[in-house]
Amino acid sequence: MKIKVINPNVTLSMTDKIGAAARMVAAAGTDIIAVSPRNGPVSIEGHYDEALSVVGILDEIRTGESEGIDAYVIACFGDPGLLAARELATGPVIGIAEAAMHTASLLATGFSVVTTLERSCIIAEHLTHTYGMAKFCRGVHGSNVAVLDLEEAEYDSYRIILDSCRHALTADRSGAIVIGCAGMTDLCARLQDELGVPVIDGVTVAVKWAEALVAIGLKTSKKGDLAPPIPKPFIGDLARFGH
């Protein structure tokens, strides 16, 4: 089984970290291919960044279809381009926010999301409604740690995020934490040990969802709005997406 894990930003140290986390939980025989697009933002911290990342994601999906990829994970908590990716892909495409929130709802009656910058909170709140998770999500909290700060060893991002998680659990009376950034994937086990509650990392749970769906023979529906894109020409830099 081949699973392509797409980090929509182009910071390769983060892609390596995401790939390592995915491989740690992957079953024997699952090949994890962790990639960043050729073009895109160095970090994704708002609607503008998300929008500009989608073409790179779709490029990786399009390439993956010719590489025999069985399933895909979009490793950004905004789940950018998720439905468009599902139009292109034959196999399952899992967004880490959707997977993490649904997983948290199986482990606690209410969860809190702890993410990076405060401005990212609104995006996560929108997703709770899109995914039907608003009744389980008791709060979304920004730690004000920038995404690229997570890659700086001298920056004490762990301590700041731990404090944000503690505040969220108390303020929201939550039973679990959903980590709202793929770049935090390496912190989750330590956070769970210290906090004593489930801490859900979307990267790892998305990989296991992808494996499960492929193993039982389920693929993305091609009826209705997730049917393949309508063939038409594209011009300029997007000409390669045309038919």
Q: Is 139 helix (H, G, I), strand (E, B) or coil?
A: strand
List pLDDT tens digits, range 184-220. 999 999 999 999 999 999 999 999 999 999 999 999 9
Q: How many helices (H) and strands (E) would you count in the chain? A: 8, 8
- Tell me whether the CATH fold assigned to 2-96+204-241 matches the one assigned to 97-201: yes
- Ranges of each domain in the chain: 2-96+204-241, 97-201
CATH architecture of 97-201: 3-Layer(aba) Sandwich (3.40)
pTM of full prediction above 0.85? yes
Any idea what DSSP says for residue 228? P
- Dihedral sign, Cα of residue 35, residue 22, residue 220, residue 177: negative
List pLDDT tens digits, range 129-155. 999 999 999 999 999 988 888 888 767
According to DSSP, the residues that pair with 73 across neighbouring strands are: 5, 94
The reply to whether CATH 3.40.50.12500 applies to domain 2-96+204-241 is yes
- Dihedral sign, Cα of residue 143, residue 149, residue 153, residue 155: negative
